[in-house]
A and B are shown apart, each in its own frame.
Chain A
Amino acid sequence: MNVTLEGETVVALKPVFGYLHRNHEKLAEGMSYLGSMPYTDRLDYICPLTNNWAYALAVEKLAGIEVPERAEYLRVILAELTRIQNHAAFLGFVLGDMGAWGTALMYAFRERERILDFFEELTGARMMVNFMRFGGCRWDTPAGWLEEVRKFVKGVPNFLDEMEKLLVENEILLARLVGVAPLSGKRAIEGGLSGPPLRASGVDYDIRKVDAYGIYSRFRFRIPRGEYGDCYDRFMIRIHEARESVEILKQALDEIPEGPVLNPKIKQRGFRPPPGEVYARLEAPKGELGFHIISDGTDRPYRYRVRPPSLINLTLLEEMCIGAKIADVMVILGSIDIVLGEVDR
């Protein structure tokens, strides 16, 4: 970021991108459809499973593929676990940005590490999971995995309570967050914000409800919203959202049926969708993650585009930072929650 200051006040700010650019889109246009699946892990490397799902969702829409019931439930469970660990990491990182280095991050990563252990047990990798396939998931859960997740999910509210107590009653934290960089809901929509930063500004818009992709229409959950759109709202909304994720997880773990997890009719290697175009999106932990694919009927996509929530959520960064103090810039940037693997692609 190029920041221009007047004393300690920010008067101009220009983000500079591209230091992690590897042209994911060009690479994907040169390989088979399935070949891009492991690469989507590297977009937002904090939450690879939602990236996998978004890509699989786009291809499934493009080719009209059915997904088995159990795979849908498994996807929801994995996506919500991803959301919890992303938000936990977020809390730790932002507190680290504010100078509370160490303690908060260790608390957050303790929970995150447990979830990554589940991912490792299921997929074989902590972060680069490569787990979703067109028409389901790669394989079924190992014996006892769901039981372990169920036990773990019961304990998540305790962690969130602990974090919330640490936050709500901490005077320094309140001084750093309350009233910093407020953003109106109207402006947030204009700026294309999505996900938690949009809802923190009071906009009732969650793609899980609006599009009801997958089987989200079957679950009861609420959409937390902020009131003022300041850093504190953006901060607290993550905790509330994680609580709702726990609710979804409980329902999904109770209802998950037996059955296959992969549609056997789909030929994964050498996959050829019919010609056409699709834009599919889902509510990733950081916002709206979309994939735009144009197929010309061959085994490679003609056009492959990722709509990165992290990049587009930065559109209003300059507006939010102008007039703020230089020390607040890190907090404002942190409260948007970006991952550079996704910003630059």
Chain B
Amino acid sequence: MTDQVFKSIIEKYPDKDIRFLENSSPSGQHSLLVPPEIAVDVAYFLRDCLGFDYCSNVTGVDWINGVKKGIWKSDSNEEIDGGKSGFLEVVYHLYSVQKKVGPLILRVRTKTREDRPELPSLTPVWKSAEFQEREVFDLFGIWFGGHPDMRRLLMWEEFEGHPMRKDYIPPDDYEYEPTPHGQILERIKTKAGKTE
């Protein structure tokens, strides 16, 4: 079922660079890599013409040094195998409630990881992506253009950085408050601090 869907999408956009990624694990869940400029079009086509009305899961992936080897059998796509510059990726898992098929996996990739990369939001197509795209923005730092309410979801507004990125360094202590502990230790070292 999903193979036919992949075929019909690739046929619909003959001049676009849509790639079929074949999963090499026993799960056999293959996915479709779509360029960002036609992602919304493809989404509407999937929802309205092919019946994928349920967007179950939206998530981000940080490929800091390019895609790891061996995950997809994609021999024709050389930059997928460990390209030098990394990028971010959003993955959509779609299902059809009426036809009871799925998952259909849609992937969209940014060009870079720096300067807040932007991707089109699919929330206008599937409302269920709303909170999840906010979460992806919060944790990965991908800005979704066209999202109705693009804010952080889990972290607070003043928070800096995006924790799920692979190069994020967590601070030692979020709630550091100076205590007299250190001062006392310092004083003990001196003569005045010694009791004897």
Q: Name the residue among A192, A274, A281, A314 with the largest chain B CB count within 10 angstroms.
A: A192
Instruction: Produce 1/0 per residue, B32-57, CB < 8 A to A.
Output: 00000000000000000000011111
Contact B164–A307 (Cβ < 8 Å): no
Interface size class of B (residues with CB under 8 A): 35 or more
Contact A296–B68 (Cβ < 8 Å): yes
A297 to B71, CA, bound (A): 9
B27 adjacent to chain A (CB < 8 Å): yes
Partner of A303, one of B57, B61, B132, B163: B61
Q: Which residues of B contact A31 (CB under 8 A)?
A: none
Q: Kindly report which residue of chain A lies nearest to residue B132, judged by CB atoms.
A: A312
A64 to B24, CA, bound (A): 12
Q: Which residues of A contact B188 (CB under 8 A)?
A: none
Given contacts A192-B127, A276-B27, contact A23 B164 (CB under 8 A): yes
Q: In B131-168, which residues have CB < 8 Å from any A CB?
A: 131-132, 139, 153-156, 163-164
Stretch at the interface among B12-20, B97-105, B112-120: B97-105
Partner of A63, one of B26, B100, B131: B26
Partner of A277, one of B27, B56, B139: B27
A163 adjacent to chain B (CB < 8 Å): no
Q: In B56-113, which residues have CB < 8 Å from any A CB?
A: 56-57, 59, 61-62, 68-72, 91, 93, 97, 100, 103, 105
Q: Which residues of A contact B103 (CB under 8 A)?
A: 279
Contact B131–A25 (Cβ < 8 Å): no
Q: Which residues of B contact A192 (CB under 8 A)?
A: 54-56, 126-129
Q: Which residues of A contact B153 (CB under 8 A)?
A: 17-18
Q: Which residues of B contact A344 (CB under 8 A)?
A: 154
Contact A189–B130 (Cβ < 8 Å): no
Instruction: Tell me how far the C-beta of B165 lies from the nearest C-beta in chain A, rounded to whole angstroms.
Output: 10
- Please give the residue numbers on chain A whose beta carbons come within 8 Å of chain B beta carbons, in ascending order: 17-18, 21, 23, 25-26, 61-64, 189-194, 203, 205, 210, 273-281, 288, 290, 292, 294-297, 302-303, 305, 307, 311-312, 314-316, 344-345
